[in-house]
Copies of this chain bind each other. A is one copy, B any other.
Amino acid sequence: MAKITSVSPLAPARFPDLPAIGGARFATTAAGVKYVGRSDVMLALLDPGSVIAGVFTKSATRSANVLDCQEKIRLSDENGAAILVNSGNSNAFTGRAGDDSVRAICAAVAEVSGLPATRVFTGATGVIGERLPHDRITAAVRGLHDNLDETGLPDAARAIMTTDTFAKAATTTVHLPGGPVRIAGIAKGSGMIAPDMATMLVYIFTDARIAQDDLQKLVSALNEMTFNCITVDSDTSTSDTLLVAATGASDVPVPAEGTAFRDGLHSVMLDLAQQVVRDGEGATKFVEITVTGALSPSDAKTHALAIANSPLVKTAIAGEDPNWGRIVMAIGKSGAAADRDALSISFGDVKVASNGWVDPDYQEEQGAALMKEQDITITIDLGMGSGAATVWTCDLTHGYISINADYRS
């Protein structure tokens, strides 16, 4: 079984033009952590005045890097900050040696940048349980620092890839009362993707001016509607990290009133989250699942994720089979409230089931035609209340098996 290396059929048509974000500079290098002949480390340096907000995996076996970031994220400090990320090795379940690796990397970055080590954030992604050869990274830190550049973000998107088949980035410009601010972010993720505890590696930069606690509240709230609403395979990484850095370099404050900045950040986060699904291992279909009419938003999300994580639903979609019976099954097993006779199911605009059975007007050919599309929308109305949620997932194919039955070899 060979690793699949061709680009996902669901990939965006092109990589976006990323603007420079004032106060943020980037560099990448090929440190040889694991991969040969490609960049595998990125360094981001944020000028004094920057604030950083973050959310992290809740995994009980999360990586040394995540534990270190979690300790540091709460410290509000405007000395500036650095973010160093490697691919090829997740530094998870590597015991005390893993903690030592993080300390060594932070010390090296602190030395070349003049920052305190408490302002150096790290991320790592790749195989679990193998010692991180951090000396290869620390040896590269000075060279990275010498090459920092405002235009380096696209290269950073490539440096953090593992099984990803395309580099992921998104950007927007938000027009605030004080002037425009820019938001640009990158992400990696393709397998071991499940929500509710986790995100993946995501780094977003903006030149807006905003207080750290305001930014943290915003990021945490938007995370629930974006990265925590996607799933590829129901498995949660030990390394998932989302960091959002606001440099303030635009001198444009985010006003307390108004939703323009929130909407802009939401669009970048949702774009990146959906790109992770579009690069789901082996994916051939992008699926949006909306549940309405639930007793609560939480019930709606439970149902939507039960459908999105069901191997039988995902294989039916892979086979272009409008097998709505499996959606009924997933609703039934989710544990959240449902009433068989009140729920209805639609594929796209076509109502498939209602009143506890197949809809009298539904023709199997309609469902079969919709299933041949690359992007599929499934809507379930539970008919019980006003709770709603939308999640995004992909199908489960032979490609997923091939990639994951042979990943370490």
Seen from chain A, the residues whose Cβ lies within 8 Å of a Cβ on chain B are: 1, 57, 59-62, 92-98, 127-130, 191-192, 194, 197-198, 233-238, 309-312, 315-316, 318-319, 321, 323-326, 328-341, 353, 355-358, 396-398, 400-402, 404-409
Contacts and interface: CB of A to CB of B under 8 A. Distances in A.
A319 B60 contact: no
Contact of A129 (B59, B311, B312, B328): B328
A405 B316 contact: yes
Contacts of A1: 319
Nearest to A339: B60
A93 B340 contact: yes
A92 B356 CA distance: 9
Contacts of A128: 325-326, 328-329
B328 A401 contact: no
A382 B234 CA distance: 23
A396 B310 CA distance: 13
A312 B235 contact: yes
A335 B60 CA distance: 8
Given A60-B334, A233-B311, 9 more contacts: A59-B332, A62-B332, A92-B328, A95-B356, A127-B325, A130-B325, A130-B358, A319-B407, A321-B409
A330 B357 CA distance: 37
Given A312-B192, A325-B129, A404-B316, A60 B331 contact: yes
B93 A408 contact: no
Given A312-B191, A340-B93, A401-B318, A59 B329 contact: yes
A312 to B, nearest CB: 5
A105 to B, nearest CB: 18
B401 A331 contact: no
